[in-house]
Amino acid sequence: MRTVGLIGGMSWESSLTYYQRINTLVKERLGGLHSARLVLYSVDFHTIEALQRRGDWDEAGRQLTDAGRALRAAGAECLLICTNTMHKVADAVETGAGVPLLHIADATGDAIRAAGLQRIGLLGTRFTMEEAFYRDRLRERHGIATIIPDAADRARVHAIIYDELCLGRLLDSSRAELLAIVDRLAAQGAQGVVLGCTELPLLLQPGDCTLPSFDTTELHARAAVAFSLDQVCA
């Protein structure tokens, strides 16, 4: 079993899910008292969120790279950034830390292709929805076209994530709003929807959406277990 390094804390609400799911999946595979070989570096999200708002992605990348180096020193043989948004600096972190990084968009793209879908709706922070780093990866590496909500819906999704989910607030009214946004994406031709923020699956459960949904936290966790147990690094 190889050791997986988690860069978490963004937010810790979803990092908890990573830890739980990776351990659960290892136990399901190996049985008995088995658990995952994990090392976790949990950053202060207050600091990272401030850098995001200022657009200081270079400094955010440096801080995550430092976390990656610490995980490598602790024995990590691959890295996961436990958030979609901070994959904007994934290449810099992988290079700077000197450890293979399992990219969340690749785990997601593999699942979308396996489902036979080519046009997918994308929900996430405004950074993930509006900037090119995530959508380009899905298109260039997996041949998947993405559809994003309109400006008003993007603003509402972003607010639900930062003002509610990252603070542990799960509101039925916000779930209903997200489901309505998914329906509007379907009307634009989306064949499925990526829950492209690791907090979104805290509110939207499998079967809630009228479209097939792709839980990026779950898919990323499964990629980590495959790396650890199957000696496969995507």
The predicted-structure confidence for 68-96, as pLDDT tens digits, reads as follows: 999 999 999 999 999 999 999 999 999 99
Active site residue 197: yes
Average pLDDT over residues 120-144: 96
pLDDT digits over 158-206, tens only? 999 999 999 999 999 999 999 999 999 999 999 999 999 999 999 998 8
Place of tokens 């937010």: 11
Query: Does residue 233 register a pLDDT over 60?
Result: no
pLDDT at 175: 96
Average pLDDT over residues 112-136: 96
Of how many residues is the chain composed? 234
Percent of the chain residues past pLDDT 70, beyond the cut: 98
pLDDT confidence band for 232 (50 / 70 / 90): very low
- What is the rounded CA–CA span in Å between residue 19 and residue 15? 6
Q: How many helices (H) and strands (E) does the chain have?
A: 10, 7
pLDDT confidence band for 123 (50 / 70 / 90): very high
- What is the rounded CA–CA span in Å between residue 81 and residue 76? 13
The catalytically annotated residue of 125, 197, 209, 216 is: 197
In order of start, what are the domains of the chain with their CATH numbers? Answer: 4-102+218-230 (3.40.50.1860), 105-216 (3.40.50.1860)
Active site residue 78: no
The catalytically annotated residue of 17, 65, 78, 83 is: 83
Q: Please indicate, yes or no, whether the overall pTM of this predicted structure exceeds 0.85.
A: yes
Find all residues with CB under 8 Å of 214, minimum gap 6, and list them: 108, 111, 112, 120, 192, 193, 194, 195
pLDDT confidence band for 231 (50 / 70 / 90): low
pLDDT at 207: 87
Among the listed ranges 42-56, 99-113, 143-157, 194-208, which one has the minimum average pLDDT value?
194-208
DSSP assignments along 112-158, one per residue: HHHTT--EEEEES-HHHHHSHHHHHHHHHHH--EEE---HHHHHHHH
Q: In one letter, which amino acid is 152?
A: A
- What is the rounded CA–CA span in Å between residue 201 and residue 165? 10
Q: What is the mean pLDDT of the chain?
A: 95
Query: Does residue 234 register a pLDDT over 50?
Result: no
Query: Does residue 15 register a pLDDT over 90?
Result: yes
